[in-house]
Amino acid sequence: MRSANLPWAHVRNGKKHLLSSFQEFGLADPIARALAEENYVTPTPIQAQTIPLALAGRDVVGIAQTGTGKTASFALPILNRMLESRIKPLPKTCRVLVLSPTRELSGQILDSFNAYGRHMRLSTALAIGGVPMGRQVRSVMPGVEVLVATPGRLLDMVQGNAIKLSQVEFLVLDEADRMLDMGFIHDIRKIVAKLPIKRQTLFFSATMPKDIADLAEQMLRDPARVAVTPVSSTAERIEQRIIQVDHAAKPALLAEILKKETINRALVFTRTKHGADKVVKGLARAGIEANAIHGNKSQNHRERVLAAFRSGEVRTLVATDIAARGIDVDGVSHVVNFDLPNVPETYVHRIGRTARAGAEGVAISLCAGEEIAYLRDIEKLIRISLPREDRRTPGHRDTAPKPTQHRGGRSTSHVHAARTGEHGAGAANPGKANRRRRRPASGSVALPGARHESGRHEAPRPQSAGSNGGKDGGLQGVAFLQRDNRAPHSNRNPRPQR
């Protein structure tokens, strides 16, 4: 039996106490009513573990991905504790600070706080990069209870005296591993240095490599540790297939797949923004409607495209990794990797977009000769040898580069990646863009290539070469939740743009 289906809380009187409903948390009435309206009945495993601890005032470090219900696992106890001592925030301050890596995720977190706090007259604000600062500065001027922020923009606002962090009582770090990948470590440290020592901190990360564990160690006080099911349970529900194909034949093959498979919603991943646009054009020529979502698109465009994808009006969305990250769309039946990612963990994040809420999903990866090294890294990480179908033209096979041996015997797929020029600008000059090298469990080295896309995120501050990401526990996957059969609060409450 998968523990994902077993809602359980912490150990009480030496016994594992089963929590089968939200009522058992004893949440305040306004919150309980909001949950009933959201049709939340059973706590998810991460909620069952985290909520009682957080309600008791403990710091918590949680290993959980988006899709596990982790937002409610921190938002609900925080709102409940705030209700216990409701005070009007001082001007230019906040009581709750949530740090998240991207503006999409920040918007979704804010939506969740607004949804769960809808009967509390909650004051909330966003501080996210990539949009003008003026409105955000004005929105925090009277003081807010909850501020959701990306680190760079928050720091700019702190430095511009638009917000003071001296009154923060609750700090949440969401997707800590992603924030470190994006180079936000220095910003985070600067922000944390400005916070009161006496606070409650809830720290979430999809993975817990040593550098993240160290960061948590420094920031948390005697934290309780919670985790949800390892990645294998996600992978088990996803039918994963590799199709080896010549690079030039990928567009036609993608069109064939989208026509042949029974698609509810398909998320197609490309490594670059330009690649995403090209794929959409190619599909249009094949008579398939698709939209692209990436950092060069306006916020309006992104919202329109997402709405069309959510409603099922356009069933194919072509996305870069960063654009897709944090976007909460359920009912994705197929993930197609038009390009294989050069960071193996990214593959796991990508395929995790399907097979939510115990549903089945299909992940198809188109692998050209030059991507074989990436495939090997992925297989090492997930410890599965993926079934391969060979659609390469005989005699016209792309040559698979032999991964160069580094000192210590690690493969250097990233070196090739930079050479092929398939990444964004960042990977073409990995030394400049991001010096952090990942060391997955497999022992291979890969660079998080086009991790940030100009114009979409705050420019991450440069990161020291020393912050290495040796994985210690592998990826943690989840039983993903689905929003389809509920009225999604993000649709009802359009994301506030402050």
Residue 214, judged by CB atoms within 10 A of its CB (0-12, 13-18, 19+), counts as exposed
Q: Which amino acid belongs to residue 194?
A: K
Which region, left, alpha or beta, applies to residue 474 given φ > 0 means left and ψ of -120 to 50 means alpha?
left
Site stretch for ligand AMP (CB under 6 A), options 61-69, 127-135, 359-367, 423-431? 61-69
**481 part of the interface to ligand AMP, by CB under 6 A:** yes
How near is the Cβ of 429 to ligand AMP at its closest, in Å? 34
Q: CA-to-CA distance for 334 and 331, rounded, in angstroms? A: 9
**67 part of the interface to ligand AMP, by CB under 6 A:** yes
**68 part of the interface to ligand AMP, by CB under 6 A:** yes
**66 part of the interface to ligand AMP, by CB under 6 A:** yes
Site stretch for ligand AMP (CB under 6 A), options 41-49, 164-172, 186-194, 250-258? 41-49
Q: Which of residues 373-402 bind ligand AMP (CB under 6 A)?
A: none
> Which single residue is written with the structure tokens 């567009």?
251
Site stretch for ligand AMP (CB under 6 A), options 65-73, 159-167, 221-229, 282-290? 65-73
**483 part of the interface to ligand AMP, by CB under 6 A:** yes
Rounded to the nearest 5 percent, the helix, strand and coil shares of the chain are 40, 15, 45
SS (H, E, C) 98-163: EECCCHHHHHHHHHHHHHHCCCCCCCEEEECCCCCCHHHHHHHCCCEEEEEECHHHHHHHHHCCCC
Which region, left, alpha or beta, applies to residue 483 given φ > 0 means left and ψ of -120 to 50 means alpha?
alpha
For residues 432 to 471, the per-residue mask of contacts with ligand AMP, x marking binding by CB under 6 A and - elsewhere, is: ----------------------------------------
Q: CA-to-CA distance for 353 and 199, rounded, in angstroms? A: 34
**70 part of the interface to ligand AMP, by CB under 6 A:** yes
Sole binder of ligand AMP in the list 19, 27, 44, 117 (CB under 6 A)? 44
Sole binder of ligand AMP in the list 4, 72, 179, 323 (CB under 6 A)? 72
Sole binder of ligand AMP in the list 187, 328, 422, 458 (CB under 6 A)? 328
Sole binder of ligand AMP in the list 45, 62, 69, 223 (CB under 6 A)? 69
Q: How many CB atoms lie within 10 A of CB 383?
A: 12
Kindly report the length of the chain.
498
Please say which residue, 90 or 487, places its beta carbon nearer to ligand AMP: 487
Please say which residue, 79 or 163, places its beta carbon nearer to ligand AMP: 79
**Site size with ligand AMP, rule: CB under 6 A:** 15
Query: What are the distances in angstroms from CA 357 to CA 4, 226, 325, 479, 488?
Result: 10, 20, 18, 6, 15
**229 part of the interface to ligand AMP, by CB under 6 A:** no
Per CB under 6 A, residues contacting ligand AMP are 40, 42-44, 47, 66-72, 328, 481, 483
